[in-house]
């Protein structure tokens, strides 16, 4: 699922809040705040994509995400790796570590993370 920036921003707010009414979502936006009709349109689009659902309390709806931030992020990263790095995680890692000008400390941190994953798989 690929979301445009506007929908992704709204999802970020929902992930942070877990459940929210439209007023709560609008309050999260920086000034100038979007119109309620704009947020309603975004929510409707996200519902069609099965990313968001709601519970109705009379005439008011409380929205909640149907997809977790981790699942969404994982799919996005897999898409980036597939589309830009020929589906090669090592090409991605090589690009990331060389282009980001990581410090020795940051590289060691990454090395520790990789070693932890290798050790966890051995168990």
- 61 has a pLDDT exceeding 90: yes
- 96 has a pLDDT exceeding 90: no
> Average pLDDT in the 107-118 region?
89
> Average pLDDT in the 53-69 region?
96
Cβ of 10: how many Cβ atoms within 10 Å?
26
**Phi, psi of 12, rounded to the nearest 5 degrees:** -55, -45
| pTM for the predicted model, two decimal places | 0.77
Question: Is 5-65 a CATH 3.10.129.10 domain?
Answer: no
Higher-scoring residue by pLDDT: 98, 47: 47
pLDDT of residue 54: 98
pLDDT of residue 100: 73
């Amino acid at each position: 699922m690929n979301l445009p920036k506007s929908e992704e921003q709204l999802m970020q707010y929902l992930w942070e809040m877990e459940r929210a009414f439209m007023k709560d979502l609008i309050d999260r936006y920086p000034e100038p705040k979007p119109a309620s009709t704009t947020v309603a349109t975004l929510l409707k689009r996200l519902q069609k994509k099965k990313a968001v659902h709601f519970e109705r309390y009379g005439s008011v709806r409380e929205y909640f995400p149907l997809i977790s931030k981790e699942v969404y992020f994982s799919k996005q990263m897999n898409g980036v790796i597939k589309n830009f790095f020929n589906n090669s995680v090592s090409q991605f890692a090589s690009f990331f570590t060389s282009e980001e000008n990581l410090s020795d400390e940051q590289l060691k941190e990454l090395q520790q993370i990789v070693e932890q994953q290798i050790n966890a798989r051995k168990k």
